[in-house]
Amino acid sequence: MLKMKKLLISALAIAMVLSFAACGGGDDNGGGEGGDANAAGAKTGYAVVSSIADVEDKTLTIDSVVAAALVDADGKIISLKVDEMQIKPDLGTDDGTVSDLRSKLDKKEDYNMKGASPIGKEWYEQIAALEEWAKGKTADEVKAAIGEDGYPTDEDLTAGCTIYLTDIVKAVTAAIDNAQDLGASADDTLKLAVTAEKSYQSSDENLQYDAAYAAVTVGADGKITSCLIDASQAKCALDGGKFKVEAGSYATKKELKEDYNMKGASPIEKEWYEQAEAYEAWAKGKTADEILADVDGEGYPLDEDLKAGCTIVVSAIATTIEAAMAH
């Protein structure tokens, strides 16, 4: 009888252990509170700060700083990505010659600032240090680490980053502030890219420099979980046989909203920013190959579902998303 009681107690104990294991979960099986926290949603945001510097010696600088941020419910940075496109056309030439249309990150060692750096690091290396330092910080904490002169003051940050950060911090804080719940997870990988190209508009004799921006989060399966795109145009007007440009800041197509004024020419009567939002929604769940495959020979969308909300040229957008996902 005593032996039977012991066996019964042992069986009950084993059953309780198995029950706790099934219900409680743990780090290994991804269940319970730990699993829910790891799969928690995150907000995705991006921002662009663009400007044209004063013309000097027939040259100018068209500069676009772009930042993407993945943040948690408290507005703290989970992941940060920063890049900058700096175009320096020679307006003394007939075609506004530009020798290199790569971003600073893509140039890597070719940006060639290491020799002038007090810490002997290239731009892309210092941006990587900034991105790592920013993890877990809020927009206010990022702003607080920058002095009035635009340079970092936080000792942990200056160990790896000493570059001028005014426009970068503007872009970073704006990206945090406008972050939205677009379907990303805290475990997803944040990606960013900016590309540029030059075009001559024969209709109004404008020389134009176009930039495309893409910020995406990617899941473990290589598919997009959230997507944000934008574009900007810097126009140099032909005046007296020379290209001239107005210095100062300028807005992206999304920032212009209705002022971009393409609705009247759109076959679906939608502005650029509305069509961009349709593209962003369509891109979710797709791979880089699927994004690139949905562009016809003239740069327009092929997918019928996409064309219901987006009929703009998407070739630059697609290649920029692919570039981001390849980073």
Beta strands in 88-205 (DSSP E): 180-185, 189-201
Question: Are the C-beta atoms of 77 and 176 separated by less than 8 Å?
Answer: yes
The per-residue pLDDT for 40 is 66
CB atoms inside a 10 Å sphere around CB 97: 12
Between CA 298 and CA 307 the distance in angstroms is 14
Q: What pLDDT was estimated at residue 240?
A: 57
Residue type, 42: A
3-state secondary structure of 140: helix
Length of the chain: 327
The answer to whether 118 touches 97, Cβ cutoff 8 Å, is no
Distance (Å) of CA 129 to CA 159, 259, 303, 327: 9, 38, 40, 17
Q: Please tell me the distance from the alpha carbon of residue 173 to that of residue 69, in angstroms, as a whole number.
A: 9
Q: What is the pLDDT along the chain (327 residues), one digit of tens a residue?
A: 434 444 434 443 434 333 433 444 333 333 333 333 334 689 999 999 998 886 555 567 889 999 999 999 999 999 999 999 998 876 666 556 676 889 999 999 999 999 999 999 999 999 999 999 999 999 999 999 999 999 999 999 999 999 999 999 999 999 999 999 999 999 999 999 999 998 766 555 667 889 999 999 999 999 999 999 999 988 776 665 555 666 788 899 999 999 999 999 999 999 999 999 999 999 999 999 999 999 999 999 999 999 999 999 999 999 999 999 999
How far from 2 is each of 5, 6, 7, 13, 310, CA to CA, in Å? 5, 6, 9, 17, 78
| Residue pointed to by tokens 């020379």 | 242
pLDDT of res. 142: 98
Question: How many C-beta atoms surround the C-beta of residue 261 within 10 A?
Answer: 11
